Structures are given as C-alpha cells and as structure tokens.
C-alpha cells in the first residue's frame, strides 16, 4: 500500500467505522457464534502472495463482525463501559501514523512532554494534591496499559521502599529476609488484579473482610497489629474507589491515617469511578487522597478515551524509578534528568503516543463536556434504579452512586440465575451477574455504557427485563 492508496482506503475505513457505529443498533449486541467458529473460516496458514484489499474487507464483514461483542451498542450494559469517541479515535490514528516509541525523552520529546502535561491536566481536573503534579519535582503521572499493571508496579515500588526502610532499621536482615516478612492488604471487594499482583511478586497479601462492601479501618488495624505481633512487616494496602462488583467506595480518610502511621504504601484503585471524580459533587469520594502514595484510574473506561489508557500517579516517583532502572548505553541521551524518561517508570520499554488521544478528547469536549457525559450516565442509572424499585418483585442491593445498578429478584439465587439465563438467551440487552460471597447473594449488574445513552435506552432495558420476568413463574419462589 502506498500513500495514494492509503488516502483512499483510509477514508473508506473511516466510513466503515462511522457506519458501523452509526448503525450499531441494527446488530445483536452479543454474538451468536460458538467457540472455534473463526478458525473454520480462515486459512490456517499465512498468505504467501499479497491479497486484494476488497477480499480482506469482505472477510471483515463475514468473519470478524459476526464474532464481535458490540461494546458500543446502546443495549450493552455489561461490566463497565469501554470508553470511546471519535475524538479519541482521531488522536489514535495520528499516534499510529507518527508511530514513535517514546521510551526516553530523546526517543520522541513531544511524546514524553505531552504525556507529562496531560497527566497534570487530569490531576488538576481531579484536584489531586500538588505532590502528584510534575511541578512537585518528585511526583508525577504516567500512562500505563491497565490498572492491573499499576497495582503491580505500585506493589513493587512499595516493596523496594519497605526494604530500604527496614534495612536502615536493621542491617543484619538482607533484602530476601525482609521480603519474606512483608505483608500487604486488600479488601475482599477489590479487583482480582490485586490478588494477582501478590501472586506475581510472591509477596504475602492478606484479604481484609469488608463490612457492607467497604474496607473498614478497624478491621485493617486489627490485622496490622496481629501481623506486627507475629514479626511481619506491613507495607502495602490497596483501597478501591468504585469496586468492580458493586461500585462500593472505601473511605480514604479512614484507611489513610492507619497506613501513614505504619509506613504502609497506600495505593488507590479508582479504575471506573475515577473519571466521575472530576465532577465537584463526587470529589468528596477522593477525600483522604493525600495519604496515598499512588493513584490510578482508567480514562479508557469512562472518560471518552479509547483503550488503552490507564492514568497513574506516584507521589514519589523515585521508588518506581529505582525499582526499574537498568541503564544500557544505547538508551542513554544527553538531556537526561531534565524530563522524565518513562522507560524507568514501568515494565516494558516501548510505549505508544497515548497522550495524543487524551489531548484531542480534553480539547474537543472540554472539562464541561466530559462532566456532562458522566452526569448523564449517572442520572440514567438513577432512572433505572427508580424503575426497578417501582416493581416490588425486585430489590436494589447496593447504593447507586455512579452509573452501575445492582439489582435482583427478591428470592433465592436460582430464580436470579434463571432470569439472567433468559436475558442472555433473549439477546435484546447484554448484562452480567455478580455475587456477594459473604451472603451468597447472586445479583445482576446494569451499567450505563453507551456514549449517547438516553432515557429511551434505559426504558428499553427495563422493559426487556420486565417482559422476561413476566414470562417466568415466580409465585412459588417469592
């Protein structure tokens, strides 16, 4: 493909994507294919000779599209939203075209510098403490692929900090002895990526039993005391703002002072809900963030920036940089130290120019536009909540704070499994289930995901659920 053909095909591709998104409601939100379907439709071997563009596009229609779960469908209400916008896509096209790999300032100065500024813009939108801004000298933000990566990296940095501190206290203990005594904490409502960070690092992580889905200071304090008495070194704690299961919020004001008193690195995971904290009426959920050493949220969930874009801040980037610094000569450059070299801030070396899509989104929407989009989703979640509460067969199982509504049929888990299975089979809307393991309660999750969601979409989902419920024989179960 040369530049001339790229101009032609690129424009066709833009039309293809715009048509897809514009007419997405004509498709079934969830695909009807069986595992292994695609293998049967394409050659097992790579093509030896070049193929025609039109043949590839025909296969996009016949092979790829039937196997797509349409995350941007107006009736997609599963998981959490996957953000998207034409503005972000334009930024992404530019990033792909520039195609730089910005691992150091020198490897593409604009890539590093725009990222620093974008992270400062986002930090200011969230009113993060000044310690997290680049101007602080020690703190700053960086874009990662995912929240999971941030939680893992923060754990590694916290581990190094703890080792440094313990070595100062007792020179007789080497780093491996110290590591074997480290213990971290996370709520039983935290995302599975926290447990995984413990598995990957082989550091002991203890699950804190939540009370009403919140990690409580008193329970955490008790566990820390117990661990100290047993000769362990508490060092890391993950608090969640907007849990995956039910969007519950830990109180940073409560957990933060405990972490501070014990020199525990507090990492805050606000993967989904973080975006909403740019609205003043929700900012109080971030109160206590000054106790955190690191904070992450995913603009790629709820800030109109398409995947991947996970925004991470460190109060003192030194611990991360020291954890990851390796210094081969071929990566050195003359301007080192004047700007961050992000290769020291994460696991991989190569990195894309992801700040471009943030830049396009923030400039084309403005903070006002993003707040409006988020408030609309939250308003619609409350509408769904109200509709469900209007039918006394249903109950809402968690306070609705953001764009997620957790509901269930009053009664046992079996009827809720049955309702979910019928919704899945029906295919008009797509939702998922979750459970509260402490009370063995299965429930259904309704997330407002569609970028242009309206009351009609919510009423459609509600109507579908009621329609399906009416076909069930509930009398004996209720």
Q: Which residues contact ligand PLP by CB under 6 A?
A: 80, 146-148, 191, 193, 240, 243-244, 269, 271-272, 298, 310
Q: In terms of residues, how long is the chain?
A: 478
CB count, 10 Å around CB of 11? Answer: 10
Taking the least distance from each CB to ligand PLP, the nearer of 232 and 307 is: 307
Nearest to ligand PLP of 84, 244 (CB atom): 244
Grouping H, G, I as helix, E, B as strand and the rest as coil, residue 200 is: helix
Phi, psi of 338 (to 5 degrees): -90, -25
Joined tokens for residue 102: 């910005």
**Bridge partners of residue 269, in order along the sequence:** 240, 296
| Cβ at position 187, least distance to ligand PLP in Å | 10
Q: How far is the CB of 268 from ligand PLP (least distance, A)?
A: 10
Cβ count within 10 A of residue 90: 16
| Closest separation in Å from C-beta 66 to ligand PLP | 25
Instruction: Report in angstroms how near the CB of residue 241 gets to ligand PLP at its nearest.
Output: 8
CB closer to ligand PLP, 249 vs 462: 249
Tell me, yes or no, if 262 is annotated catalytic: no
How many whole angstroms separate alpha carbon 402 and alpha carbon 405?
Answer: 8
Dihedral sign for Cα atoms in the order 354, 279, 436, 406: negative
CB 102, min distance to ligand PLP, A: 21
Nearest CB to ligand PLP, comparing residues 85 and 243: 243
Q: Compare residues 278 and 447 and give the one whose CB is closer to ligand PLP.
A: 447
Query: What is the 3-state secondary structure of 98-141?
Result: HCCCCCCCCCCHHHHHHHHHHHHHHHHHCCCCHHHCHHHCCCEE
Measure the CA–CA gap between 63 and 38, rounded to whole angstroms: 7
The per-residue DSSP string of 2-28 comes to -HHHHHHHHHHHHHHHHHHHHTGGGS-
Considering beta carbons, is residue 152 or 342 the nearer one to ligand PLP? 152
Token output for 279:
């609205």
Instruction: Please identify, using beta-carbon distances, which residue of 233 and 302 lies nearer to ligand PLP.
Output: 302
- Coil/strand/helix, residue 40: coil
Q: Which is nearer to ligand PLP, 107 or 210 (CB)?
A: 210
- Biggest CA–CA distance in the chain, Å, is 77
Q: How far is the CB of 77 from ligand PLP (least distance, A)?
A: 14
Buried b (16+ CB within 10 A) or exposed e, 367-381: eeebbebbebbbebb
Least spacing, CB of residue 240 vs ligand PLP, in Å: 5
Q: What is the spatial distance between Cα 138 and Cα 315, in angstroms, rounded to a whole number?
A: 7
Strands 140-144 and 441-447, how do they pair? unpaired
Question: What are the DSSP calls for 60-90, one per residue?
Answer: IIIIIGGG---TTSTTB-SSS-----HHHHH
Collapsing DSSP states into helix, strand and coil, what is residue 249?
A: strand
First to last CA, the chain: 64
Catalytic residue among 70, 191, 377, 430: 191
Nearest distance in Å: CB 261, ligand PLP: 25
Give the catalytic positions in this structure: 191
């Amino acid at each position: 493909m040369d530049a001339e053909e790229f101009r032609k095909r690129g424009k066709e591709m833009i039309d293809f994507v715009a048509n897809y998104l514009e007419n997405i409601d004509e498709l079934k939100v969830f695909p009807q294919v069986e595992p292994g379907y695609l293998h049967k439709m394409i050659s097992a071997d790579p093509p030896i000779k070049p193929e025609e563009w039109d043949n590839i596009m025909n296969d996009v229609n016949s092979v790829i599209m039937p196997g797509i779960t349409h995350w941007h469908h107006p009736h997609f209400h599963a998981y959490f939203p996957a953000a998207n916008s034409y503005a972000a896509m334009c930024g992404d096209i530019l990033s792909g075209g520039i195609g730089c790999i910005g691992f150091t300032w020198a490897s593409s100065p604009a890539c590093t510098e725009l990222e620093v500024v974008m992270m400062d813009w986002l930090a200011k939108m969230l009113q993060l403490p000044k310690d997290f801004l680049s101007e602080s000298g020690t703190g700053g933000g960086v874009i990662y692929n995912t929240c999971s990566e941030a939680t893992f990296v923060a754990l590694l940095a916290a581990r190094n900090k703890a080792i440094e501190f313990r070595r100062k206290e007792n020179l007789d203990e080497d780093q491996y002895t110290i590591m074997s005594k480290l213990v971290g904490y996370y709520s039983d409502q935290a995302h599975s990526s926290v447990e995984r960070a413990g598995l990957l690092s082989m550091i002991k992580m203890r699950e804190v039993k939540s009370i009403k889905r919140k990690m409580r200071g008193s329970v955490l304090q008790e566990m820390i005391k117990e661990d100290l008495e047993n000769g362990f070194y508490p060092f890391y704690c993950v608090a969640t703002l907007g849990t995956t299961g039910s969007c519950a919020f830990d109180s940073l004001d409560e957990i933060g002072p405990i972490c501070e008193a014990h020199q525990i690195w507090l990492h805050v995971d606000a993967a989904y809900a973080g975006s909403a904290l740019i609205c003043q009426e929700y900012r109080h959920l971030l109160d206590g963030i000054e106790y955190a050493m690191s904070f992450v949220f995913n603009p790629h969930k709820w800030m109109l920036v398409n995947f991947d874009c996970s925004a991470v801040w460190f109060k003192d980037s030194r611990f991360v940089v020291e954890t990851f610094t390796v210094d081969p000569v071929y990566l050195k450059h003359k301007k080192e130290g004047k700007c961050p070299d992000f290769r020291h801030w994460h696991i991989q070396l190569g990195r894309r120019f992801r700040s471009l899509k943030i830049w396009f989104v923030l400039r084309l929407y403005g903070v006002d536009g993003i707040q409006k989009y988020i408030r609309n989703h939250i308003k619609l979640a409350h509408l769904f909540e109200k509709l469900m509460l209007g039918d006394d067969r249903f109950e809402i199982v968690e306070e609705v704070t953001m764009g997620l509504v957790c509901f269930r049929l009053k009664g046992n888990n079996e009827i809720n499994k049955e309702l979910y299975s019928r919704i899945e089979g029906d295919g008009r809307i797509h939702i998922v289930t979750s459970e509260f393991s402490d009370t063995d309660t299965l429930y259904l999750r309704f997330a407002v995901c569609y970028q242009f969601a309206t009351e009609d979409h919510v009423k459609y989902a509600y109507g579908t659920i009621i329609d399906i419920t009416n076909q069930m024989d509930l009398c004996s179960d209720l």
